[in-house]
Structure 1
């Protein structure tokens, strides 16, 4: 059995930034909210993709902390502007 090696902290930080960017609340059933959700997911996916592509192109000089900061900055600049889905089931789970 191979020994498990923990993720380096800078790798975990980058992956956390990607997850935070893409983990959006489900939109309400209103079509306008669904469109806003889709557009936001599209934008945030693009930002994460740009950071990851740059990282892969410059493998000899990775700056994972800078890439994570870029993703977080872009995430902060593109907040959720739609109404998230609410139901009695989702409210009880909180």
Structure 2
């Protein structure tokens, strides 16, 4: 049986940054909101991919904290710019 080893803090921080960047609210049913959601997800995914590709290309000198900071900067620069879907089911989400 494989022994479970906790994730190092810097790995967990990088993964958290990726999840936070890609965790977007569902857009309203308006076409313009769906398009904005798609473009925002596309932008954030691109930057997460760039950070992860750089990490994989420079395996001998990883800087996970810098990669996580890069993802967070890109995420902060591109906030949700559309109307999220609103229903009784989603009202409890924050």
Q: Please state which band the TM-score falls in when normalised by the shorter chain.
A: over 0.9
> Counting helix residues as a fraction of each chain, which structure ranks higher?
1
Moved over 6 A (4+): none
> How far apart are 1:3 and its partner, in Å?
1.1
Work out the CA distance in 1 between the residues paired with 2:24 and 2:88: 19
Query: For residue 69 of structure 1, what is the aligned residue in structure 2?
Result: 69
Work out the CA distance in 2 between the residues paired with 1:6 and 1:70: 24
Structure 2: which 5+ residue stretches go unaligned? none
TM-score normalised by L of structure 2: 0.96
CA-atom RMSD, angstroms? 0.7
> How far apart are 1:90 and its partner, in Å?
1.5
Count how many residue pairs are aligned between Structure 1 and Structure 2: 93
The 5 A counterparts of 1:12-91 are 12-91=12-91
